[in-house]
Amino acid sequence: MDWGGPSFVIAIVALSTAGWLINNWIRAKHGYSLEDEWGGKTERSDSAETKRLREENRELHDKLDSMQDRMIVLEKIVTDRGYSLSDEIEALRATGTGVPLDIKTSEKA
């Protein structure tokens, strides 16, 4: 093979260009900024789908936060000393009908 011939130089240029194209394709696919031929960066502009996904993500985070708040309230209710789940379960077992018995409550009428 002639190392100084034009076919070798063309092969090197073609391989370098193909590597640069593949690198930019992978970067674009994964959302990274693109690199131009002089080494500068070109930031991606957000597409409509990306904006929609970000908005949906924000809505889901808000919903998750509200569910966590509700769970905290439910945990407080269940762990409250006045709430006697075991008494209600025992009352259901005693009747066998699934209807709870009249359990003593701390309410005074």
Domain ranges of the chain: 1-45, 46-98
* C-alpha dist (Å) from residue 7 to 1, 13, 14, 17, 102: 10, 10, 10, 15, 96
List pLDDT tens digits, range 54-96.
899 999 999 999 999 899 888 877 777 666 777 777 777 777 6
Helical H segments across 1-84, by residue range: 6-29, 48-79
> What's this model's pTM, rounded to 2 decimal places?
0.36
List pLDDT tens digits, range 18-64.
998 898 888 888 877 776 667 666 666 667 777 888 899 999 999 99
Residue 48 contacts by C-beta under 8 Å, 6 or more apart in sequence? Answer: none
Angle CA 28–50–64, to nearest 5: 130
Amino acid identity for residue 64 in this structure? L
